[in-house]
Amino acid sequence: MNGLSSQTLDKIKYAAELFRRAKHAVVLTGAGISTPSGIPDFRSEGTGLWARAGAMEAASLTTFRYAPERFYKGFRPLVAKIVNASPNPAHVALAEIEQAGCLQTVITQNIDILHQKAGSNHVIEMHGTLRTLSCTQCFHQVDAELHLRPFLENGQMPTCPDCGGVLKPDVILFGEQLPQKAWLEAQRESRACDLMLIAGSSLEVLPVAGLPMQALDRGAHLIIVNQTPTYLSVRADVVILEDVAEILPAIARQVLTNGS
């Protein structure tokens, strides 16, 4: 924790204390928790995935349906980064807090599977997952890695091994609704928790950005760790505007050592 101010250190200790007190703690993570793993976020000016001209349109359900080759061409850079990414210290820290019994659920807006790779067991994926692909013709579901690595190597569009139909990544594209099961579960967890940590999310994308309000309305404590302020910063018990890959491990150490 070299270089952190005394004020930030005090906030880390208080955040850890809130975790130790909590009976049902939930974490909501966004793209910012995976940027230290080399996966770009979506909205940062100049570097975000959607900063490129036409990127949002190319990643739409309409483009996938009518021009799947164009969709996969635009999707390829992100797939390459996700397939080759490893969990960073922030992912590992959350898994450690969960294993210590101080965290019940991770709700994530990410599709990169890094929480599970780090050891988190109860993960709700709000925007789907790149773990699997589904056939658009026969609906057969396959392991994504078996088909995405060849796609990255030769650019060939993934097709179903059973019927030859185009395989769609099991992620939520522009124009698709959130998966109902995940959404309902995320709402239940948000309403049941007595502590919510926001990690690496600017809370700009609805309806997921509204989940912390459901927690706050029922008296939950709120911790925000993000590089920039959010609309709920004024309501939070703790706000730390620092790198999640540095702050979350520091919170985890405090939780695991009981603050000693």
Instruction: Tell me the β-bridge partners of 134.
Output: 141, 168
For 171-216, write each residue's pLDDT tens digit. Answer: 999 889 999 999 999 999 999 999 999 999 999 988 999 999 999 9
Question: Do 203 and 78 sit in the same domain of this protein?
Answer: no
Please state the domain count of the chain. 2
For 101-152, write each residue's pLDDT tens digit. Answer: 999 999 999 999 999 999 999 999 999 999 999 999 999 999 998 999 889 9
Question: Do 141 and 227 sit in the same domain of this protein?
Answer: no
Averaged confidence pLDDT in the chain: 92
Alpha helices in the chain (DSSP H): 6-21, 55-58, 61-66, 68-83, 89-99, 114-118, 144-154, 180-192, 211-216, 244-256
Residue 226, pLDDT above cutoff 90: yes
CA of 106: how far to CAs of 51, 110, 123, 129, 173, in Å? 28, 11, 5, 14, 21
Residue 56, pLDDT above cutoff 80: no
Assign 23 to helix, strand or coil: coil
Residue 42, pLDDT above cutoff 80: no
Which residues touch 220 (CB under 8 Å, ≥6 apart)? 193, 194, 195, 196
Element at 105 (helix H, strand E): strand 105-108
Question: Do 52 and 159 sit in the same domain of this protein?
Answer: yes
Question: What pLDDT is attached to residue 244?
Answer: 98
Question: Do 132 and 255 sit in the same domain of this protein?
Answer: no
Can you tell me the distance from the alpha carbon of 83 to that of 80, in angstroms, rounded to the nearest whole number?
A: 5
Question: What pLDDT is attached to residue 44?
Answer: 47
Question: Do 74 and 193 sit in the same domain of this protein?
Answer: no
For 62-110, write each residue's pLDDT tens digit. Answer: 999 999 999 999 888 889 999 999 999 999 999 999 999 999 999 999 9
Question: Do 132 and 147 sit in the same domain of this protein?
Answer: yes
Question: Do 189 and 237 sit in the same domain of this protein?
Answer: yes
Residue 79: CATH number of its domain: 3.30.1600.10
147 is catalytic: no
pTM above 0.85, yes or no: yes
Q: What residues make up the domain containing 135?
A: 40-84+128-171
Catalytic residue, from 115, 127, 147, 221: name it.
Answer: 127
Question: What pLDDT is attached to residue 55?
Answer: 52
Question: Do 198 and 226 sit in the same domain of this protein?
Answer: yes
